[in-house]
């Protein structure tokens, strides 16, 4: 089974994030979901961002990296919003990554590395009209990341039947909420949260079966 490291969003290690991690555990995967907020949780993006700003985004990202360094290298990194920062950095720069899932945020190519590592499957999930994702440049960053990878062996924009045919996917859902996958958030959308979880579990099954991207 896959080893998975999940980083929480600006809201902190919410019950919704823990529920997502438990779903992956129930499927047999080993999941680590660290608390970067030292027990703090928030109900809004604004409140969470204020706290993250006080602690320092670079400090939180570095903490995520230090936590990963205590774990095996063969990790699948999953980041929700703020958690994308350490997840994407580790997937692009730490050897041994088996895959990555970026949810509601994407960092432009070049921030950590100019290319996505060959053979590492990637899913980017967001709502198509989420103003945070669209207006703050994350959608453009996601498209640029996918396009920069599509020319690599195994890369494909539209996906395929196997991980080898679809190493990178940008998946946009109808809607405009940011925390649609967190059941403890007012943003939660049951249908698309289930779709995201199913997609992640399919990815993990493929990795577990030894399919390479």
Q: What are the beta bridge partners of residue 4?
A: 31, 76
pLDDT tens digits, the chain, 213 residues: what are they? 899 999 999 999 999 999 999 999 999 999 999 999 999 999 999 999 999 999 999 999 999 999 999 999 999 999 999 999 999 999 999 999 999 999 999 999 899 998 888 888 999 999 999 999 999 999 999 999 888 775 444 443 344 444 344 478 899 999 999 999 999 999 999 999 999 999 999 999 988 776 433
Place of tokens 């929700």: 80
> What tokens does 61 get?
């990202």
Name residues whose C-beta falls within 8 Å of residue 28's C-beta, 6 or more positions apart in sequence: 1
Kindly list the structural domains of the chain, giving each domain's residue range(s) and its CATH number in brackets, ordered by start: 3-208 (3.40.50.1820)
pTM for the model stands at 0.91
Say if CB 207 and CB 158 are below 8 A apart: no
Outline where the chain has alpha helix (H): 15-26, 45-55, 57-68, 84-93, 131-135, 138-150, 190-208
């Amino acid at each position: 089974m896959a080893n998975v490291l999940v980083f929480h969003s600006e809201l902190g290690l919410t019950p919704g994030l823990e529920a997502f991690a438990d779903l992956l555990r129930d499927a047999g995967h080993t999941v680590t979901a660290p608390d970067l907020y030292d027990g703090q949780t928030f109900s809004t993006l604004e409140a969470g961002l204020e706290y993250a700003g006080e602690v320092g985004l670079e400090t939180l990202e570095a903490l995520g990296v230090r936590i990963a360094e205590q774990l095996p290298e063969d990790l699948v990194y999953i980041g929700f919003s703020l958690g994308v920062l350490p997840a994407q950095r580790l997937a692009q720069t730490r050897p041994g990554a088996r895959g990555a899932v970026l949810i509601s945020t994407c960092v432009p190519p070049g921030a950590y590395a100019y290319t996505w590592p060959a053979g590492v499957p990637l899913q980017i999930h967001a709502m198509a009209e989420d103003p945070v994702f669209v207006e703050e440049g994350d959608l453009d960053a996601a498209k640029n990341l996918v396009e920069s990878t599509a020319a690599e062996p195994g890369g494909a924009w539209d996906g395929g039947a196997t991980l080898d045919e679809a190493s990178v996917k940008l998946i946009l859902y109808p809607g405009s909420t940011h925390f649609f996958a967190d059941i403890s958030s007012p943003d939660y959308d049951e249908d698309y949260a289930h779709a995201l979880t199913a997609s992640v579990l399919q990815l993990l099954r493929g990795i577990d079966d030894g399919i390479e991207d």
